Amino acid sequence: MTVEVLGQASLCNAILLPLFNNRVSAGFPSPAQDYVEKTLDLNELCVRHPAATFFVKVSGDSMQNAGIYDSDILVVDRALEAKHGDIVVAALSNEFTVKELCLKPTIRLLPHNPKYQAIEITSDNELEIFGVVTNVVRKIRRP
């Protein structure tokens, strides 16, 4: 799975959209209530550190079981310290990838698709963490 850097987040042009109080049922339909609880700015929701946040477009299927699919846009925060279990954007020997960071018992990058093997980090490959994935933006695709 590869990533393509899209740009850095900016909060200067906030667009406030209505956020409805009721949740939408994904099971049995429930009656809707017609009032807005507040407004919501997606920048505020998805971006904690604007100066350290960037977006990348995903290519590939190695993270599909983590809910990350080909053509998704990832929100990546460089200000967060990557911890065991985080989904990260990393460069491995100068090639970008998105994987789960595993620090125990050894350092590995884990795919979330059984078709792919974990990548063991050794002295033979250089690993650089570019940031922690905090959100996924996806278009709903029609068949």
Q: Catalytic site residues?
A: 62, 99
Residue type, 120: E
C-alpha span between 138 and 92 (Å, rounded): 26
Instruction: Name the DSSP letter for residue 34.
Output: -
Residue type, 106: T
Query: What token pair was written down for 32?
Result: 């809707």
Going by C-alpha positions, the residue among 111, 18, 1 that lies closest to residue 56 is 1
